[in-house]
Amino acid sequence: MKILSIETSCDETAVSLVEATGDFPNAKYQILGNALFSQIDIHREYGGVFPSVAKREHAKTLVPMLKKSQNANLKSQNYSEEVKNDVRVLLEREVGMYEELIEYVENYEKPAIDLIAVTAGPGLEPTLWVGINFAKALALLWNVPVVPVNHMEGHILASIFKTNDDKSGNTLHSNGGLADLQFPSLALLISGGHTELIKMNDWPLDVARSKQHYEKIGQTRDDAVGEAFDKVARLLGLPYPGGPEISRAAGEARSANLPEFHKLPRPMLDSDDLDFSFSGLKTAVRYAIEGKELSEEDKQAVARDFEDAVVEVLLKKAERAVNKYDIRSLILGGGVSANRQIRDTFASFFASEHPELNLYLPDLKLSTDNSIMIALAGHARSSKALAPTIEALSPLVASGNRSLSEE
Ligand code: KG4
Ligand code: ZN
């Protein structure tokens, strides 16, 4: 099955073409095309993601990303006025997108795809809508069904997925390794919008639901961990997105063995639950530096102190959940799982304290938002695809707060 996947939940515009041979989770996957445009440079000016700007950029970039992911031959194609009119109505609010899309589909060979997978949530509603309407338009034009995908399920699958880069930079693999996952699993999802612990009891296959596949057993009560990284970076005058900047600065502090700048709190470390809180930690950083003239080294030390506090809390809560639920596989997913210190600390801790546990860390290229993860989740959910008619597709809507435990 060939899957065209689309991701626009935040500030990455991504389109991929993935071939799955076999049924989920036993399939072999081959990535035939992968195009991603990051809007980071555009948002950096504002110090964060501006939904209306992000929406406009997605609308401008989706057709070029589609074209790049397909590598299709030139061949003129005809579409009925009726279908074109439906597509025009669908794309009414995305300036210029209708014309650009029609020009593309009329001049390039229609791809042999079986399914379109698109992120329906969670994410920013205005940006989700652009991807969803684009997916619906392609479905109508090419007569291909569409499956809505949960972004967080995508992060989980991308973390489990084993990649194997060939020399051309395409990821090929004999087996995505998904079928090897041992349950119960625990996913610690850490991104710009989420911090949650999800217990996975089984794959979300379309069998009669005897038990809940995903259970949310812990979550942040305020800021997401990625948000805390971004806000602390801002306090230190580092550019957006702050995660990689903090990580780099903290690395410098560790190599230089800089002394502690300020003892930061470990919020909710010993609370009797699996919840998190990061807004107090951010405030503690603010108080620690307020009114001070910080040298480069001071900033590096603060970044390291902050990172140490985050890592300690994440690790302790993950360990508590692993023990409580007899977890067999621990999955780190979401953009913050690209963090070196988090990866190294989890790897060494669980290797020594829980050698029986399988730890899954995403390939760095798949840890932040991408569309390969959406193709994997689309494959897992392919039986839920909606037929390519306006009526059948109408339930597919953007849902900013779509929770994984309700899937
Ligand atoms: O999953 P993602 O790409 O988008 C969301 O779904 O939110 O995550 C983005 C978040 C941002 O907050 C970014 O600062 C953070 O991931 N991030 C990192 C690192 N790379 C990205 N945080 C810490 N260390 C990193 N190396
Ligand atoms: Zn994400």
In three-state secondary structure terms, 131 is helix
Instruction: Mean pLDDT check: name the lowest of 17-31, 193-207, 261-275.
Output: 193-207
Confidence of residue 171 (pLDDT cuts 50, 70, 90): low
Least confident span in 123-127, 203-207, 376-380: 203-207
Ligand 2 centre to CA of 190 (Å) is 8
Q: What is the pLDDT of residue 168?
A: 53
| Confidence class for position 206, pLDDT limits 50, 70, 90 | low
Ligand 1 pocket residue status of 338, Cβ below 6 Å? yes
Cα separation of 98 and 83, whole Å?
Answer: 12
Per the DSSP assignment, residues forming a β-bridge with 358 are 329
Lookup: tokens for 161: 């997925």
Residue closest via CA to ligand 1's atom 23 equals 243
Does any ligand 1 atom lie closer than 6 A to the CB of residue 8? no
Q: Tell me, in angstroms, the distance from the centre of ligand 1 to residue 338's CA.
A: 7
Q: Of ligand 1's atoms, which has the minimum distance to the CA of residue 227?
A: 12
pLDDT band, residue 177 (cuts 50/70/90): confident
Query: What is the C-alpha separation between 17 and 35, in angstroms, rounded?
Result: 9
Residue nearest to atom 14 of ligand 1 (CA): 243
Ligand 1: centre distance to CA 139 (Å): 31
Instruction: Say yes or no: CB of residue 339 within 6 Å of ligand 1.
Output: yes
Kindly identify the ligand whose nearest atom is closest to the C-alpha of 154. 2
pLDDT digits (tens, 9 = 90+) for 334-365: 999 999 999 999 999 999 999 999 999 999 99
pLDDT band at residue 76 under the 50/70/90 scheme: very high
Tell whether the model's pLDDT for residue 169 goes beyond 60.
no
DSSP conformation class of 268:
T
Q: Tell whether the model's pLDDT for residue 211 goes beyond 90.
A: no
Helices (H), 111-192: 125-142, 151-160
Q: Quick one: average pLDDT of 241-264?
A: 97
pLDDT band at 45 (very low <50, low <70, confident <90, very high): confident
Looking at residues 106-121, what average pLDDT do you find? 97
Kindly report the length of the chain.
407
Residues 266-284: what's their mean pLDDT? 97
Nearest to 29 by CA among 338, 407, 388, 363: 363
Q: Are 238 and 245 in contact (CB under 8 A)?
A: yes
Segment 312-321 shows an average pLDDT of 98
Q: What is the mean pLDDT of the chain?
A: 94
Whether the CB of 119 sits within 6 Å of ligand 1: no
311 lines ligand 1 (CB under 6 A): no
Q: What is the pLDDT of residue 174?
A: 53
pLDDT score of 167: 53
What is the predicted pLDDT for the residue at 204?
80
What number is the average pLDDT over the span 316-344? Answer: 98
Q: Which residue has the tokens 């990689």?
A: 244
Pocket lining: 57 vs ligand 1, CB cutoff 6 Å:
no
- Cite the beta strand spans of 8-142 per DSSP E: 12-21, 28-38, 115-121
Q: Is the CB of 247 under 6 A from ligand 1?
A: yes
Residues above pLDDT 70, as percent of the chain:
96
What confidence score (pLDDT) does residue 278 get?
A: 98
Task: Tell which atom from ligand 1 comes closest to the C-alpha of 338.
Answer: 26
What's the whole-model pTM score? Answer: 0.95
Q: What is the number of alpha carbons within 13 Å of residue 69 lying toward its C-beta?
A: 31
Q: Which atom of ligand 1 is nearest to the CA of 11?
A: 4
Q: Give the nearest ligand 1 atom to 155 CA.
A: 1
Pocket test for ligand 1, best of 230, 368, 373 (most atoms within 8 A of CB): 368
